[in-house]
Structure 1
Amino acid sequence: MAKKDHISATPATALLRKLGVAFSEHPYDYEDHGGTGVSARELGVAEHAVVKTLVMQDDGGHALIVLMHGDCKVSTKNLARQIGCKSVEPCKPEVAQRHSGYQIGGTSPFATRKALPVYVEEGILALDKIYINGGRRGFLIGIAPAVLTQVVAAIAVHCALDD
């Protein structure tokens, strides 16, 4: 497929290349509503190492990104408490796309349209390698977790609920 030949040309990968960040490319056959289970299966990696990029908003309507293990859910109550607000909820898909500049299912925390605060589940930072969206549906990149704190200044939080 011609699309697969050019899959890495995204704002996210352009930024990482510009910064000299090492990453591996992992295209796979995207399935609507397949989530991290499909990508983990297609790549042959543990779902725990596949990181979801979730666009959420606080009680003031300010958007933020939460990075979570693929096999866990976000405790919005714990997240809100840790970031000092009353509540946090997922953005509607069209709002998330407006904030991030990425299509739902292809959201990357790198090179978002608007600069958004990024929070990362602390367990992700302890992994050797993670697989996170490269900015397009059906395309993950493999990086060292430290890249999250170095490139997007991700702040570690503990808000995971086991799925």
Structure 2
Amino acid sequence: MAKKNAHVSETPATQFLREHEIPFSEYVYDYVEHGGTAESSRQLDVPEHQVVKTLVMQDERAQPLIVLMHGDQKVSLKELARQIPCKKVEPCKPDVAQRHSGYLVGGTSPFGTRKAMPVYVEASILALERICINGGRRGYLVGLDPRVLPELLLARAVQCASAE
């Protein structure tokens, strides 16, 4: 079972949230390689739809961007490219994603990234009451109000979800 109030050392993400006075709760779970949001959802007993994954992608010019998507859905790359607009979007290789974000894959947070990147959020995430999103370390999520994303990250709403 997850340890809701276990102490976790500060990450760039939690520093960013504290600096911007964003209230958040902390959730620690046992990280499982390739377990993804299904594993964190199961351990934390939170609907996977409310667990938001942070995906580092790039456009056709290799310019990085972040996409925030429901844990139980995947990104339609063609639809995302059409909406942002660009010719093509693809996931970054793990080492490239880490270089841009400063986080290990599996621990990527949209907060406190090494490099400023445009952020796109699936529109229906903004309608949720609360989300769990990576706090900058594997096995560590933060819970917060998703309505802070557009203001805090200048996240632009898109509709590019498809069933997992």
Offset of residue 8 of structure 1? 4.3
Offset of residue 97 of structure 1? 0.2
Question: Residue 72 of structure 1 corresponds to which residue in structure 2?
Answer: 73
Amino acid at match of 2:37: T
Structure 1 segments (4+ residues) deviating >3 Å: none
Amino acid at match of 2:38: G
Alpha-carbon distance in 2 for matches of 1:115, 1:10: 17
> What 5-or-longer segments of structure 2 have no aligned partner?
none
Question: Residue 16 of structure 1 corresponds to which residue in structure 2?
Answer: 17
Alpha-carbon distance in 2 for matches of 1:159, 1:105: 22
Amino acid at match of 1:29: D
Offset of residue 148 of structure 1? 0.9
Amino acid at match of 2:91: P
Question: Residue 40 of structure 2 corresponds to which residue in structure 1?
Answer: 39
Amino acid at match of 1:160: A
Offset of residue 147 of structure 1? 1.6
When residues 10 and 154 of structure 1 are mapped into structure 2, their CA distance, relative to the original with a 3 A threshold, is same
Contact 1:117-1:154 at 8 Å conserved across structures: yes
Alpha-carbon distance in 2 for matches of 1:33, 1:59: 27
Alpha-carbon distance in 2 for matches of 1:104, 1:33: 10
What secondary structure sits across from 1:120 in the alignment? Answer: strand
> What 5-or-longer segments of structure 1 have no aligned partner?
none
When residues 128 and 8 of structure 1 are mapped into structure 2, their CA distance, relative to the original with a 3 A threshold, is farther
Offset of residue 56 of structure 1? 0.1
Question: Residue 85 of structure 2 corresponds to which residue in structure 1?
Answer: 84
Contact 1:8-1:134 at 8 Å conserved across structures: no
What secondary structure sits across from 1:55 in the alignment? Answer: strand
Q: How many equivalent residue pairs?
A: 160
